[in-house]
């Protein structure tokens, strides 16, 4: 309660009103702009689907090769070592055989390898798409 015994959120009726102006004519032109976005979306979706369907055989082939190579390496062992347990984690990272999902790896990649190719936007999008909560990659 406030000093006068009243609840400030209940006492001031103006608090429930939105204290912002809207630019003149904003809502009148909104329908047209939404229509334009819907039209753009209609063009974009089939295009994306077409690109994915064309790329699918290549993606499948790349995945099959990756699985074969990984299995081969795991079965034959790393050159110079006797067991799979002795494998260097960095070897996997460098060869991109496991998905990079831990934040440290992302920063490692950002600082050492791809600083000229990855923008902040790329990293943000990657983190969002991979479902990592912002709290999970705070460094402090």
Partner 1 sequence: MPTDAEIMSLYRSGDTEKAFSALTEAYRERLYWHIRRFTCSHEDTDDLLQDTFVKIWTGLPGFREDARLFTWIYRIATNEALNFLRKKKTRGLIGKEPLENILWKQVDEDPYFNGNALQRELHKAIQTLPPRQKAVFNMRYFDGLSYNDISDILGISPGALKASYHHAYMKIRDRLEKIF
Judged by the rule CB under 8 A, the positions of this chain that interact with partner 1 are 1-3, 7-9, 12, 14-23, 26-27, 30-31, 33-35, 37-38, 41, 120, 123-124, 127-128, 133-134, 137-138
Is 107 within 8 Å of 100 (Cβ atoms)?
A: no
Nearest approach, Cβ of residue 75 and partner 1 (Å): 40
| CB nearer partner 1, residue 99 or residue 134 | 134
CA distance 108 to 114: 9
Nearest approach, Cβ of residue 109 and partner 1 (Å): 14
97: closest CA among 122, 68, 56, 118? 68
Residue with tokens 């089939």: 46
Tell me the C-alpha to C-alpha distance, in Å, between residue 77 and each of 11, 27, 69, 74, 89: 74, 66, 12, 5, 14
| CB nearer partner 1, residue 88 or residue 122 | 122
Nearest approach, Cβ of residue 56 and partner 1 (Å): 24
Nearest approach, Cβ of residue 35 and partner 1 (Å): 8
57-70 per-residue burial string, b: 16 or more CB within 10 A, e: under 16: eeeeeeeeeeeeee
| CB nearer partner 1, residue 88 or residue 104 | 104
| CB nearer partner 1, residue 16 or residue 54 | 16
Nearest approach, Cβ of residue 30 and partner 1 (Å): 6
Q: Which long-range contacts (CB under 8 A, 24 or more apart) does 64-68 make?
A: 66/97
| CB nearer partner 1, residue 82 or residue 140 | 140
């Amino acid at each position: 309660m406030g000093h006068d015994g009243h609840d400030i959120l209940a006492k001031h009726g103006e608090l429930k009103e939105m204290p912002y102006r809207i630019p003149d004519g904003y809502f009148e032109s909104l329908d047209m702009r939404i229509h334009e976005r819907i039209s753009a979306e209609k063009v974009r979706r089939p295009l994306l689907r077409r690109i994915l369907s064309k790329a699918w055989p290549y993606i499948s082939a790349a995945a099959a090769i990756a699985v074969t190579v990984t299995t081969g390496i795991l079965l034959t062992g790393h050159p110079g070592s006797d067991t799979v347990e002795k494998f260097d984690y960095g070897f996997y990272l460098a060869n991109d055989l496991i998905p990079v999902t831990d934040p440290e790896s992302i920063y490692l990649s950002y600082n050492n390898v791809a600083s000229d190719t990855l923008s902040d936007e790329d990293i943000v999008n990657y983190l969002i798409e991979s479902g990592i909560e912002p709290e999970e990659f705070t460094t402090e």
